[in-house]
Structure 1
Amino acid sequence: MKKYKLLIVTVTYKPDKKELTLFLNSYHRYNDLGDKAKLIIVDNSPQNSWEWRTFIQKYHDIDFISNPSNPGFGTSNNIGFARYESDYVLFINNDVEFIEPLFTSLLKEFDKDTSIGCIGIHQKGGAPSFFLKMTAPEGAKVDEFNQETHFISGAFMLFRSDLFVEIGMFDPNLFMYFEEFDLSERLLLKGYKTVFLDKYHFLHKAGHRTKQNEFAAQKGSDSFCYICKKYELDYKAKNDAYIKRMLKMIIYNLLFLNIKEVLKIRRIICYRKKVIKENFEL
């Protein structure tokens, strides 16, 4: 089996074909490793939900894995990673575009410091490039990356492949959300660094979400409970803050008489309270 210098893995679910096309075209334009790099799409969409066979024919150099069982974001990334051997692996969103050659320069950063396990870079387009951890102390700086108090965005996570395997890859118990925090903590425990390099850029078209995805919110609540138990974190303050945000959203939607959204958020809150009780209060 051929070993690649770099694997690029992205997970899709009923993707916007125009957006995906922009991502793939930008990859072809700025791939400075040529055939030493391999892009793999792991598609979690239900079978026959979109014409991916026709779509993918013009991208014959890209591997496409149909994965309709949809085992979750992390597990699907693990599936893509396992397809080939590689020196490095980049897990990336597909609502992004490359805007400059990155691969050769970023891989050299690992050579400069062998303790680096994961690299994140600057996201243009409004989405945050990194986030405060739940374990961050009060008063921690929001806009200055520190691996002890921050984790990089899951929209772009570049790993040394051997270290990704060493830390156990994505935790399959997390269907979605909190994967970045989990990977960051496991790298730290093994003595490896997560670094943020602001001088490199890509475009992330995340946009501003005004509506809640009920399924995603429920999975997020499940992941929140799992992570709190895994790392023995105090769930109360973070959960209270979450409930307050949801209540504010109810008030906001009531002002615009958006009753459907109000009812959805109420269901999200009820589900959150149920799983909190099941995991911590019984």
Structure 2
Amino acid sequence: MKNIAISFITINYNSSDFTIELLKSIQKHTTIPYEVIIVDNASRDDDFQNLNNYISDQEENIYLIQNRINSGFAAGNMLGVNYASGEYYFFINNDTTLLNDTATILKLHLDQHKNVALVTAQVNDETGNYASSHKLFPSLTKELLGNSIARKINKFPSNKTKLTTPTAVEVISGSCMFFKASVFCEIGGFDTNFFLYCEEEDISKRILLANEQIHFVPDAKIFHHSGGSTEKNLSILKEYYISYKHLIYKHFNLPTATFLLFLVLFKLFRRSFKNKQGIQLFLFALRGFPKKESLRYKQTVKLNSSIP
């Protein structure tokens, strides 16, 4: 058996058609030894069966793990890590496809830059145009003075600029995160207190605090169906703010975190005049973004499946 260079890790949740297209693109473009670990987060039986049928006819090194509860993004990926043996971990959304030998390009970049531990690719949208795959970490400067001033202070590039060379960035998109496995494990991996959203801000921050760098590598390219694997609704929007609250109280002192949360409350108050959903989100904010309303606590455990 070949030594595994790359462990692709992805999550399927009632979106097996997307996952199959991702698998096809990995098989088409990846030229170095790899494995693919798919964590199915308690999908419907028919969706799981569709994916299982496809994998059964494929080459080795594709593993499907059936999770009996939807444990969310962070915990789902950490379940996948338990089965990963690669020198590098490539966490990639199942609603993406590789457009070139993305994994090899990202691996070579890390091999050539020993102070870099996390990289991402250029993301293209449905129209074939450049889509942002990096951003700034939340800060008082950003919230009070705007992105432009914050970027001038911290020297990170705008997410609207089409970068043509590898560039240091502060936070990368959770849809495409390529890690040195050793550093990922040293910092403890994803924080499973996040159910959905803000995992990328948190782990990017912890990479930088470990004195490692994060790079955007434009030669590596992927396509991403924006929102293809997550349906937006009020519960999903609430989940974002629950995660955001956890993020800022984790990484800022109490006065700063409280003020940042107040700014969110003020923004939601202004939006509450637009529609019913805006009012509901503002009332949710007034209750302090209670964690007990997280989707985490609305999951049920599936009975043992008869699907092989």
Q: TM-score range by the shorter chain?
A: 0.7 to 0.9
Cα deviations across residues 226-277 of structure 1 (Å, max 9, x unaligned)? 1111112342354146515743652xxxxxxxxxxx3x44433322331348
Q: Name 2:24's counterpart in structure 1.
A: 25
| Separation (CA, whole Å) in 2 of partners of 1:208 and 1:244 | 29
Per-residue deviation, 1:42: 0.6
Residue 152 of structure 1 is aligned with which of 167, 172, 193? Answer: 172
Structure-2 residue corresponding to 1:236: 261
Q: AA paired with 2:218?
A: D
Q: Tell me, in whole angstroms, the C-alpha distance in 2 between the residues paired with 1:42 and 1:99.
A: 23
What aligned pairs does 1:73-88 form with structure 2 within 5 A after superposition? 73-88=73-88
Q: Does 1:140 align with 2:154?
A: no
RMSD of Structure 2 on Structure 1 (CA): 2.8
In structure 1, the residue matched to 2:134 is: 130
Percent identity for Structure 1 against Structure 2: 23
2:260 paired with 1:273:
no
* Corresponding pairs, count: 262
Residue correspondence of structure 1 range 219-234 to structure 2 within 5 A: 219-232=239-252, 233=257, 234=259
In the superposition, the TM-score normalised over structure 2's length comes to 0.76
TM-score by length of 1: 0.82
Of the structure 1 ranges 44-53 and 95-104, higher mean CA displacement relative to structure 2 is found in 44-53
Deviations 1:80-138 (A, max 9, x none): 11203221000001111111112222211112111111001210116421122212643
Q: Which is worse superposed, 213-222 or 234-243?
A: 234-243
SS, match of residue 178 in structure 2: strand
The residue aligned with 1:259 is: none
1:52-91 correspondence runs (5 A): 52-61=51-60, 62-91=62-91
Cα–Cα, structure 1 residues 177 and 55, in superposed 2: closer, same or farther, change >3 Å? Answer: same
Give every structure 1 segment of 4 or more consecutive aligned residues whose post-TM-superposition deviation is greater than 6 Å: none
* Residues 54 and 265 of structure 1, relative CA distance in 2, 3 Å threshold: farther
1:150-174 Cα shifts (integer Å, max 9, x gaps): 3111110000000000111000101
**131 and 27 in structure 1: CA distance in 2 versus 1, 3 angstrom threshold:** same
- Call closer, same or farther: CA 1:242–1:85 in 2, change over 3 Å: farther
> SS at the partner of 1:275?
coil
Equivalent residue of 1:114, what SS? coil
Structural mapping, 1:96-175, within 5 Å: 96-125=96-125, 127-135=131-139, 137=142, 138=145, 139-141=149-151, 142-143=158-159, 150-175=170-195
Equivalent residues of 1:31, 1:103 under 8 A apart? yes
Provide the secondary structure at the position in 1 that maps to 2:287. helix
Distance 1:27-1:244 versus aligned 2 partners, 3 A rule: farther
The verdict on how the C-alpha distance between 1:278 and 1:81 changes in structure 2, with shifts beyond 3 A counting, is: closer
Alignment of 1:253-264 (within 5 A): 262=276, 264=277
Amino acid in structure 1 at the alignment position of 2:283: C
SS at match of 2:188: coil
* Aligned equivalents of 2:44, 2:232: Cα separation in 1: 25
Q: Which runs of 5+ in 1 are unaligned?
A: 251-261
Select between 108-117 and 163-172 the one with higher mean Cα deviation: 108-117
Q: Which residue of 1 aligns with 2:196?
A: 176
Q: Secondary structure at the match of 2:288?
A: helix
The answer for the alignment partner of 1:45 in structure 2 is 42
Distance 1:162 1:31 in 2: 22
Partner in structure 2 of residue 95 of structure 1: 95
Segments of 5+ residues of structure 2 without an aligned counterpart are 152-157, 293-308
